[in-house]
Amino acid sequence: MKNNKTVVVKLGTSVLTGNGYHLDTRHMVELVRQCSMMMELGHKIILVSSGAIAAGRSQLAKHSSHLDYDKDVLAAVGQSNLIQTWQILFNLYNIPVGQMLLTRADLEDRERYLRAKHTLNSLINHNILPIVNENDAVCIEEIKVGDNDNLSALTAILAKADELYLLTDQPGLFSSDPRKNKDAELISTVNKIDDKLKSIAGGSGSKVGTGGMATKLQAAEIATRSGVEVIIAKGREPNVITDLVNNKPVGTRFKVMNDIVEGRKQWLLTGPASSGSLIVDDGAQKALLTTGSSLLAKGILSINGEFDSSSLIEIKNTNNDIIARGITCYSSTDLLKIKGLHSEEIKSKLGFINGTAIIHRDDLVVVDAL
Ligand code: GLU
């Protein structure tokens, strides 16, 4: 067991606000105390903090009776209030904080991904506590991660964290909805995230946050696939952070997957690509999932969206399930001309060749091998 862990702590809006409307500084200072204790022991902590929109709403309510602000306005006002509050509280323990506001676009572009990774790692290496949130003030729907559960998984991958704590208003994942079924039992360990578990997780639970158990499972799937252990636990449980760092059995623990995706491929896993997708036939699906092959033109049935070569796209089966993500060597316009063809025919059809594979195995990550 590692003595010094790198840990991402995701704090949902329900954990940071008393009632969803204003920051609960009394509880925040308690979380800060736990983080500072762990940092003093040599552990590295990164916070992914929600609560900007809620904080913005409560700030603006003090100034006007107008309540119908857009989320970007609420986030712009609330994020500064949120980071200022964290800064004041961590300052009590002499811990400097650094704010990182990210969007999906920062993680899909390889250069920006590497830049974000560098900054995050520089902060933790200098014992500065990074506080991450989505850049909601400038973020349009198309480039949003959308919820901080998924954002925290991506952050954990960037930081090569050992563990990700998804702290929420529930003690963990239950065998059925504990609000409806009194016999629901807390699941303490998950070795594999399968369809049954996903159906248990259902939709959004709390009224104040964006995510729910469903987004937590998505986050757990992404993170555990990249070698990060994930724990869902109740953020208002006394000493929850220190207990988790000290390996006490709290909440629901998701074990790291066997088939870990390494380095370069991890950023391919960072969420649904916006550029487009390819539908492939059953033969190509089998080859991708079982024999570790590259994607060839022959297996492509149709192309959705418009994209250039070198874009990150999704590969889907005939049921429209995403089975892989990868970087295409050909644009959508070229693919429309060569889909279904043998690799030897590409050159004569297009007048050039970018490689015999449409997506080379090295640039492809299977997402349905879970
Ligand atoms: N970024 C949002 C906020 O700061 C929270 C999103 C989420 O909790 O999933 O309010």
305 and 179 in a single domain? The answer is no
What value does the mean pLDDT take over residues 221-247?
95
Cα of 189 vs centre of ligand 1, distance in Å, is 27
Is residue 258 pLDDT above 80, yes or no?
Answer: no
Instruction: Looking at the structure, tell me whether residues 238 and 285 fall in a common domain.
Output: no
**Residue of higher predicted confidence among 321 and 91:** 91
Comparing 20-24, 128-132, 302-306, 340-344, the range with the smallest average pLDDT is 20-24
Give the rounded percent of residues in the chain with a pLDDT score beyond 90. 61
User: What is the β-pairing status of strands 277-280 and 312-316?
Assistant: parallel
CATH number at residue 120: 3.40.1160.10
Same domain, 339 and 297: yes
**Residues 218, 240 within the same domain:** yes
Query: Which of 50, 104, 131, 154 should be mutated for ligand 1, with most atoms under 8 A from CB?
Result: 50
Domain boundary among 230, 265, 300: 265
Q: Is 36 exposed, middle or buried (0-12, 13-18, 19+ CB in 10 A)?
A: middle
- pLDDT category at 112 given cuts 50, 70, 90 is confident
Residue 275 is encoded by which pair of tokens? 């550029």
155 & 278 share domain: no
pLDDT tens digits for 13-66? Answer: 999 997 777 899 999 999 999 999 999 999 999 999 999 999 999 999 888 777
User: Atom of ligand 1 at shortest distance to CA of 55?
Assistant: 10
Residue 110 resides in a domain: yes
Confidence of residue 370 (pLDDT cuts 50, 70, 90): very low
- Segment 86-98 shows an average pLDDT of 98
- pLDDT of 1 reads 56
Give the domain extent around 30: 6-265
What separation in Å is there between the alpha carbon of 111 and the centre of ligand 1?
25
Residue 368 CA to residue 88 CA, distance in Å, equals 44
Q: How many domains does the chain have?
A: 2
Q: Is residue 286 part of a domain?
A: yes
Judgement on whether residues 192 and 282 belong to the same structural domain of the protein: no
Would you state the pLDDT for residue 179?
A: 77
**CATH number, position 351:** 2.30.130.10
Tell me which of 221, 248, 265 is where a domain ends.
265
Q: Is the pLDDT of residue 99 over 50?
A: yes
pTM of the model: 0.80
Residue with more model confidence, 192 or 212: 192
The CA distance from 98 to 94, in Å, is 13
Average pLDDT over residues 170-191: 88
Is 178 among the domain residues?
Answer: yes
pLDDT above 70 (res 273)? no
Q: Is the pLDDT of residue 206 over 60?
A: no
- Among 134, 151, 215, the mutation site with the greatest number of ligand 1 atoms within 8 A of its Cβ is 134
How many angstroms is it from 148 CA to the middle of ligand 1?
6
**Which of 10, 13, 17, 49 for mutating ligand 1's site (highest number of atoms within 8 Å of CB)?**
13
pLDDT higher than 90, residue 271:
no
Average predicted confidence (pLDDT) for the chain: 88
Residue 82 contacts residue 23 (beta carbons within 8 Å): yes
Q: How far is the CA of 355 from the centre of ligand 1 (A)?
A: 42
**Confidence grade of residue 241 (pLDDT, cut at 50, 70, 90):** very high
* Residue 306 pLDDT greater than 80, yes or no: yes
Distance spanning both ends of the chain, measured CA to CA: 25
Whether 118 is covered by a domain: the verdict is: yes
Instruction: Give yes or no for residue 235 having a pLDDT over 50.
Output: yes
Q: CB within 6 Å of ligand 1 — which residues?
A: 12-13, 50-53, 133-134, 136, 147-148, 209-211
b/e code 206-230 from CB counts within 10 Å (16+ = b): bebbbbbbbbbbbbbbbbbbbbbbb
Per-residue pLDDT tens digits for 118-154? 999 999 999 999 999 999 888 777 777 889 999 999 9
Tell me: pLDDT of 89 over 80.
yes
CA atoms within 13 A on the CB side of 61: 9
Residue 108 has pLDDT above 90, yes or no: no
Closest atom, ligand 1, to C-alpha of 13: 8
